[in-house]
Amino acid sequence: MTPGVQNPDGPAAQPLRSDAERNRERITAAARTVFAQDGLNASMASVAREAGVGIATMFRRFPTKAELVDAVFSGRMGAYADAVTTALEDPDPWHRFVGYIETACAMQAADNGFADVLTTTFPTARPWSSAATRRTRPWSSSSTGPRPQAGCARTSTPRTWC
């Protein structure tokens, strides 16, 4: 057994055997590759094939596709939320907006799977997605977050933009 490595598949939190941990790492690495290329429509079988493991091993480590997506993209969601935080720190409203859009578009262009994650609603969302949503809410909410100090280009611009 590998000391300190916990089994994320069960509440008992038993340490994973070293071969099981290697399989888990191979599956998540393969899923990153497959999802980046094909998006979330990629099959679990194609991920297993890319990882060089059997489909039973795949489902033993990740019983549902949502759990695999969670394992693959939780770090990216953190980076996405960080992009919102970084943008909100810019005092210039235009730079704030453009900086965020450029960062978000670059993240999505580099990874079809991540673009799918951002535009998909998961009925059984994992805690990371809720935390990321809370961190990005000031950007999208008209009642929270800092107001830009610069003037608006026209008076018909919605209040949330100026």
Give the helix, strand, coil percentages of the chain, each rounded to 5.
65, 0, 35
Give the number of other Cβ atoms within 10 Å of residue 78's Cβ.
14
Confidence at residue 2, expressed as pLDDT on a 0 to 100 scale = 41
Structure tokens at 136: 């990005």
User: Using one digit for the tens of pLDDT, what is the confidence trace for 124-143?
Assistant: 555 445 555 555 555 554 43
Rounded to the nearest 5°, which phi and psi values hold at 116?
A: -65, -40
Which residues, listed in sequence order, are joined to residue 41 by a DSSP beta bridge?
A: none
Q: How far apart are CA 86 and CA 91, in angstroms?
A: 11
Confidence at residue 6, expressed as pLDDT on a 0 to 100 scale = 45
Break the chain into its structural domains and give their ranges: 72-139
Model confidence, pTM: 0.56
User: Using one digit for the tens of pLDDT, what is the confidence trace for 36-92?
Assistant: 888 888 899 999 999 999 999 989 889 998 889 888 888 788 888 888 888 888 888
Straight-line distance from the first to the last Cα atom of the chain, in angstroms, rounded to the nearest whole number: 57
Q: DSSP letter at 11?
A: T
